[in-house]
Amino acid sequence: MTRTPLTDHVTVEEMTDSHHGLDNDCPQALAGNLMRTAMKGEEARAILSAHAKQDCRLLGIRGYRCLAENNACGGSEFSAHMEALAMDFQPDPDLFELRAAWDVLRNHPTFMLDVDQLIIERGCLHFGLPTARHNFIPRHELRLDADVNGRRTYPLFGIWTAPHA
């Protein structure tokens, strides 16, 4: 299996492999976004590792989705994954429950500054960076997941605000 480093701990393959047998290579025009998203993933890893006082691997990383991939995995119509501006991952389950990791990230003084959405999404954490659709302005949304009559929903938990100095 080819492993092409994108950042220290994130590979191109993790960020672009299809889970549905599709051609899901990231277009060159989105390469900068893919890198930025991977760097943000490194930031999440560093924050979680500092909190756990040991290295917190990020498992099950997923990033870019072309339209067909997004449709195949039931992503939302305007998913930031399609702009290579979102990442899903599972923090090392020996170190964090999903909700605990979500809490660490949202309570960090600066992690959310440039995050559009932080979501517990289908057994993963998802962060999205601001997209053109919202004029590249982060909405700072904190969302959890919930089953409503068998349908997965992501109700708004709150809007992150920067801690007061």
Amino acid at 151: R
Size of the site for Zn ion (CB under 5 A): 3
Nearest to 118 by CA among 148, 154, 146: 154
Q: Which is nearer to Zn ion, 45 or 126 (CB)?
A: 126
Q: Which is nearer to Zn ion, 12 or 80 (CB)?
A: 80
- The rounded distance, in Å, linking the Cα atoms of 110 and 100 is 17
Interface residue with Zn ion among 14, 88, 92, 116 (CB under 5 A) is 88
Binding mask 100-139 for Zn ion (x = CB under 5 A): --------------------------x-------------
- The rounded distance, in Å, linking the Cα atoms of 79 and 70 is 8
The least distance separating Zn ion from the CB of residue 129, rounded to whole angstroms, comes to: 12
Cβ-contact 103, 47 below 8 angstroms: no
- The rounded distance, in Å, linking the Cα atoms of 25 and 96 is 31
The least distance separating Zn ion from the CB of residue 126, rounded to whole angstroms, comes to: 3
In this structure, what is the dihedral angle of CA atoms 73, 127, 91, 19, given to the nearest 10 degrees? 20
Binding of residue 69 to Zn ion (CB under 5 A): no
Q: Which is nearer to Zn ion, 74 or 109 (CB)?
A: 74
Interface residues toward Zn ion, by CB under 5 A: 86, 88, 126
